[in-house]
Amino acid sequence: MTDDSATPGLFDALEAPIEASSVSTQKKTTKRGTKAAEPKAAAPKAAAAPAPRKRRSAEDMAATQREISVSEFFTKNRHLLGFDSPLKALLTTVKEAVDNSMDACEEAGILPEISVEISAAEEENRFRVCVEDNGPGIVREQVGKIFGKLLYGSKFHKLSQTRGQQGIGIAAAGMYGQLTTGKSVRVVSRPGKRAKATEFLLSIDTAKNKPEIHHEATVEWEHGHGTRVEIEMEAKYQKGLRSVDMYLKQTAIANPHLTLHFTDPGGEQVTYERNTKEMPPETVEIKPHPHGVELGRLIAMLKSTQSRSLSAFLQDEFSRVGAKVAKDIVTKAAAAKTGQTLTVKSYPSRIAREEATALHKAINETKISNPSTDCIAPIGEDLVLAGLKKEIEADFYAASTRPPAVYRGNPFQIEVGIAYGKPGGVGLEVTDEGRIRKKATSRDVVEDLVAGADEPIRVLRFANRVPLLHQQSACAVTKGVILTNWKSYGLTQPRGALPIGPMAVLIHIASVWVPFTSESKEAIASYPEILKEIRLALQDCGRKLGTYIRKGKRLKREFDKRNYIEKYIPHIGIALQEILDLTNVERDGTVETLEDVLHKSRKF
């Protein structure tokens, strides 16, 4: 199959002594351009070849192959983590810090109060980001690793609903600061009143992916407990749809139990007060749900389990599996004609791959009840509505929370809220006396959240209560909205695009493991199960919206007709007065009667 004719001198190269070639490798690293020249000199035979090439053998290549540190990898690929532009870097940093604070507070059962401060540094195009919380703090030994090592944390290995899950974010923010300013990260942490607060200055050794702590000292701190992180970085501050301001506003919507203070570079201060003292329902850590667990993972679990019997294994390592279900599974598996001998007593680690395959098949064919809801904490329809009403001016609101579902063994839950009606725009309502009148609206208008009447609707995406501001077009949530047929709910919708109208849709996915399309956690991967749930939730809200819109249109027609008639009633009155020679009182009486009749004749 090889095409030697075209590669003269090839085999000399393949058999060439390793020294020779590794020499050339050294040259390369010391002098530029040498490499390009080499072949011409080194291989006269190559003259016949279409173009003189370097002749690198498997050995040459082996000499250059080595391990890549995860920090090196992400430094070179910082856009994967959301640090591709100075503007985005600022948002990502605030996001990662706030997410961690929220997680820590909730885990410790503390109502979160967080303050974010962004200030300009001396150097131009540089800002200092400070995020401070009233959380449980971090013990001395952990500070370095948490802020100075990628892929380190407590959230990755457990199945429970947290904002962070990768053990990358905040360390990456520090790494970006270091990369763009050369400065280290400052951390102050106090784990409880009896402990003293400690101050750290640290950076990452990217080649080793290890923290370097340059300075450590106990300091006075006014707060009883909490953590403060300060990062200076090359950044750009700007308001708008994808700004820090917007991220914080939406965070307030999705976290009504959070009090949030923000000071922008201009020194302007805004505070989002919590509107409930109730913490989100506590979620429990769960075992994986048997459905959708991959065969390879099952085999690994069989090897590593403590359980002494297959039945015990299934019940201990998975959620929603009791003795009966376990028995069903094993029976099914044994029934499969693979000439094997699986019983509920089989010793897990001795189960062969073929048997495991049958077991895996049996698991997915066995009916197993959905995961328990207590591992997920949706915001809840009431709070979704409250959040929307608090921040978004609209005429109509609806919300819908789906029951939990599963993808790849991970429980998740979708909830949707919609706000319809142009900001400051005027709806119509029917008064108690049956009159139609313009609805007055008092709340502040938030122009930036609800779209205009002729623009695509706004989509507010949340994952585990964290707003997602970037990569909307690549997100399963957006796909879900586009795939929904909004025409049947009274909105116009271009083919394959978002519907048009004065509307904002809030979509929240809560899960023990949110499948993001990249480490920057900006968009959600389109797993079919997730898409399906999103669409069902949207359809539910859509139906309510449809009813409202149709009613609105009817009201509008009525309203216009009545206005029209009412305009003429007085003239009719005058006409009658002249014809029947009525007194003014009689005339006005008649006019009133006519109007009453008119309103009584309403069709609804």
Considering only the stretches 44-52, 238-246, 544-552, 589-597, report the one whose residues sit in contact with a second copy under the rule CB under 8 A. Answer: 44-52
The residue among 412, 411, 387 whose CA lies nearest residue 399 is 387
How far CA 366 is from CA of 326, 369, 530, in Å, comes to 9, 10, 22
- Locus of tokens 């319809």: 420
Considering only the stretches 9-17, 238-246, 570-578, 590-598, report the one whose residues sit in contact with a second copy under the rule CB under 8 A. Answer: 9-17
Query: Is 167 labelled as part of a ligand binding site?
Result: yes
Binding mask 59-98 for a second copy (x = CB under 8 A): x-xx-xxxxxxx-xx-xxx-xx---x--------------
Span 100-129, contacts to a second copy by CB under 8 A: 104, 107-111, 113, 115, 123
Q: Nearer Cβ to a second copy, position 61 or 335?
A: 61
The residue among 464, 473, 453 whose CA lies nearest residue 507 is 464
Binding mask 156-185 for a second copy (x = CB under 8 A): xxx-------xx----------xxxxxx--
Distance of alpha carbon 574 from the chain centroid: 66
28 with 38: CB under 8 angstroms?
Answer: no
The answer to the question of residue 374 lying near a second copy (CB under 8 A) is yes
The answer to the question of residue 33 lying near a second copy (CB under 8 A) is yes
Least distance to a second copy, CB of residue 48, Å: 12
Considering only the stretches 272-280, 426-434, 439-447, 540-548, report the one whose residues sit in contact with a second copy under the rule CB under 8 A. Answer: 272-280
Strands 503-511 and 458-463: parallel
How far CA 229 is from CA of 74, 107, 124, 506, in Å, comes to 21, 19, 21, 30
The answer to the question of residue 339 lying near a second copy (CB under 8 A) is no
The answer to the question of residue 154 lying near a second copy (CB under 8 A) is yes
What distance, in Å, lies between the first and last C-alpha atoms of the chain? 82
Least distance to a second copy, CB of residue 224, Å: 5
Considering only the stretches 294-302, 325-333, 432-440, 539-547, report the one whose residues sit in contact with a second copy under the rule CB under 8 A. Answer: 294-302
Number of residues that bind a second copy (CB under 8 A): 126
* Distance (Å, whole) CA 203 – CA 186: 9
Binding mask 518-537 for a second copy (x = CB under 8 A): xx---x-xxx----------
Least distance to a second copy, CB of residue 393, Å: 26
Burial state string for 136-145 with b = 16 or more CB within 10 A and e = fewer than 16? bbbeeeebbb
Binding mask 213-232 for a second copy (x = CB under 8 A): ---------xxxxx------
Least distance to a second copy, CB of residue 483, Å: 14
DSSP alpha helices (H): ranges in 163-276? 169-181, 244-254
Of 48, 220, 277, 432, which lies in the binding site for a second copy, with binding defined by CB under 8 A? 277
Q: Burial-class residue 599 by CB neighbours within 10 Å (0-12, 13-18, 19+).
A: middle
292 with 528: CB under 8 angstroms?
Answer: no
Q: Nearer Cβ to a second copy, position 57 or 401?
A: 57
Of 266, 281, 403, 589, which lies in the binding site for a second copy, with binding defined by CB under 8 A? 281
Query: Is 171 labelled as part of a ligand binding site?
Result: yes
The residue among 471, 451, 592, 465 whose CA lies nearest residue 526 is 471
The answer to the question of residue 338 lying near a second copy (CB under 8 A) is no
527 with 515: CB under 8 angstroms?
Answer: yes
Query: Is 164 labelled as part of a ligand binding site?
Result: yes
The answer to the question of residue 192 lying near a second copy (CB under 8 A) is yes
Span 391-450, contacts to a second copy by CB under 8 A: none
The answer to the question of residue 48 lying near a second copy (CB under 8 A) is no
The answer to the question of residue 297 lying near a second copy (CB under 8 A) is yes
Of 299, 394, 477, 507, which lies in the binding site for a second copy, with binding defined by CB under 8 A? 299
The answer to the question of residue 282 lying near a second copy (CB under 8 A) is yes
The answer to the question of residue 566 lying near a second copy (CB under 8 A) is no
- Locus of tokens 């393949």: 14
The answer to the question of residue 471 lying near a second copy (CB under 8 A) is yes
Rounded to the nearest 10°, the torsion over CA 33, 38, 40, 46 is -130
Span 348-367, contacts to a second copy by CB under 8 A: 353, 356-357
The residue among 400, 408, 411 whose CA lies nearest residue 376 is 411
Residues 6+ apart with CB under 8 A from 596: none
**What is the CB-side half-sphere exposure of residue 152 using CA atoms within 13 A?**
18
**What is the CB-side half-sphere exposure of residue 88 using CA atoms within 13 A?**
15
Least distance to a second copy, CB of residue 278, Å: 5
What one-letter code names the amino acid at 588? Answer: D
* Distance (Å, whole) CA 594 – CA 95: 62
Binding-site members for ATP are: 100, 133, 154-155, 164-171, 521
